[in-house]
Amino acid sequence: MKILIVEDSKINQYIARDTLLKYEIDCEIDYATDGEVALQHIYDKSVDLVLLDIIMPKLTGLQVLEHLRSSKKSDIPKIIMLTTISDSTTLKACFDLGASDYIKKPFEEMDFISRINSTFREIENERKLKQNAQLLESQNAKLIQVNESLQEAQYHLVQKEKLVAIGELAAGIAHEINNPLAFVISNFTNIRQYVDSFEHFTKTIMNKVDDPALTFDEFKILASNLWEKSDMTFIFEDFPELITDSQKGLDRVAKIVNSMRNFARLSDENYFEYVDINELLEEVFIVVNNEVKYIATLEKNLSQCPPIYCNKGQIEQVFVNLIINAAHAIKGHTYAGSGVIRVETIPEKDYCIIMICDNGSGIDSDNLNKIFDPFFTTKPVGQGTGLGLSISHNIIVDKHQGKISVESQFGEGTCFKISLPYSHEVSTS
């Protein structure tokens, strides 16, 4: 520690120095005999503790304190006043101006040393505190940085999860569209042949109508033979069926495309509207159909709920996540062909309840409280990101003030229950 003794009396300087030496106080000592020199020393050199006389030539101790205070110097040393004055008003003024203690003159050894020691401890503690505060500050800055990069990473992962989901679904959707399209195309090949046969039949008949060599009976036989040969009875039966079938196929393609278009509107996350949950579920069923149909039967028990004020794309994403999870849980289980995913809607007073239950693998009770955590997955590396349920939880609870809960029997199946408020005011009350 560095001590500056500011004292105009040489005798007092010596006494102070000798006492410090006698008690082996670990310090470097400098001296000043008036206020001006003292101030200069404090500004120019580093000092930890100043022993400051009050009555001195040029500047008094009080004036030195005033100077220091108005200087805005950031590292003002600790100051102990040295005083013969027992005038409490002056002492109070010293404390108000920043002095931390006082020692009475003539010095009493024990009093002198113990005050110096306790001030040293104070200086030491303040240093440690400052260091800790600096450390905390830099750790805090690092944490903010880490937090920012984590948020960015999470954003990218969420985007990736969406892309993976859309990618997986897109393959299924292509298949879904391909089926009806394939039979519409095959129907049209038949329709083309029928039209050709019909054209051939009509043209042949029309050519014979005006043939004077033909009697009416001969014409009738010819027409009847041609009718048989051209398979016209079958064509007339099959033709409307082909048209109806093709119509159905094209309707299905239109429906799938429409569902996909609605699903793709996911991006507008702040757009809320009143939505019929059952209609939305029907769209979801089309989107997930290909993922589910070879694994499980989709049982629907939909009761009419009043419209829900929600972001359609996000709620759709939740249902898709849950149904696909259910399909995966059934696929990994031994229910060959007997998998069931039951989707139920139940109108309650303030909430529409949506149950999505399966008879798949169930969830181990140890994992039950982890499944909504981001990145929790029991799927093999590279197959699940473990974000589906955490995103769903965020959408239902944070974005829609709803609830989501799960019940599961390991080995038997799982039920997710979603409660969506009809209006957000109800749920917050």
Determine if 360 is a binding residue for Mg ion (CB under 5 A): no
State the minimum distance, in angstroms, from the CB of residue 234 to ligand ATP.
Answer: 50
Please tell me what DSSP assigns to residue 54: S
The answer to whether the CB of 364 falls within 8 A of the CB of 423 is no
Q: Is the dihedral of CA 30, 34, 35, 39 positive or negative?
A: negative
Judged by CB, which is closer to ligand ATP: 183, or 376? 376
Determine if 379 is a binding residue for ligand ATP (CB under 6 A): yes
**Interaction mask 325-344, Mg ion, x per CB under 5 A:** x-------------------
Q: What angle do CA 423, 428, 429 make, to 5 degrees?
A: 100
Q: Which does 363 bind (CB under 5 to 8 A by kind): ligand ATP, Mg ion, none?
A: ligand ATP
Determine if 386 is a binding residue for ligand ATP (CB under 6 A): yes
Q: Which residues of 173-185 are buried (b: 16+ CB within 10 A; e: fewer)?
A: beebbeebeeebe
Q: Which does 329 bind (CB under 5 to 8 A by kind): Mg ion, ligand ATP, none?
A: ligand ATP
Distance CA 173, CA 327 (A): 16
Residues touching Mg ion: how many (CB under 5 A)?
2
| Bridge partners of residue 301, in order along the sequence | 344
Q: Which does 360 bind (CB under 5 to 8 A by kind): Mg ion, ligand ATP, none?
A: ligand ATP
Strands across the sheet with 339-347, in order? 296-302, 339-347, 351-358, 413-421, 403-409
Determine if 291 is a binding residue for ligand ATP (CB under 6 A): no
Determine if 173 is a binding residue for ligand ATP (CB under 6 A): no
Distance CA 229, CA 251 (A): 35
| Footprint (CB under 6 A) of ligand ATP, residues 76-95 | none
Residue 366, SS3 per DSSP: coil
Determine if 239 is a binding residue for ligand ATP (CB under 6 A): no
Q: Is the dihedral of CA 253, 254, 257, 259 positive or negative?
A: negative
Given the rule CB under 6 A, which of 67-75, 137-145, 172-180, 359-367 is the region that contacts ligand ATP? 359-367
Distance CA 61, CA 51 (A): 10
Given the rule CB under 6 A, which of 84-92, 256-264, 295-303, 358-366 is the region that contacts ligand ATP? 358-366
With CB under 6 A as the contact rule, the residue among 280, 288, 371, 418 that binds ligand ATP is 371
Peptide bond into 347 cis (omega under 30): no
Q: Which does 394 bind (CB under 5 to 8 A by kind): ligand ATP, Mg ion, none?
A: none
Determine if 283 is a binding residue for ligand ATP (CB under 6 A): no
Q: Which does 378 bind (CB under 5 to 8 A by kind): ligand ATP, Mg ion, none?
A: ligand ATP
Determine if 172 is a binding residue for ligand ATP (CB under 6 A): no
Query: Within the chain, how many helices (H) and strands (E) appear?
Result: 11, 12
With CB under 5 A as the contact rule, the residue among 313, 360, 362, 388 that binds Mg ion is 388
Residue type, position 374, single letter: P
Residues that bind Mg ion (CB under 5 A): 325, 388
Residues that bind ligand ATP (CB under 6 A): 161, 321, 325-326, 329, 358, 360-363, 371, 376-379, 384-390, 414
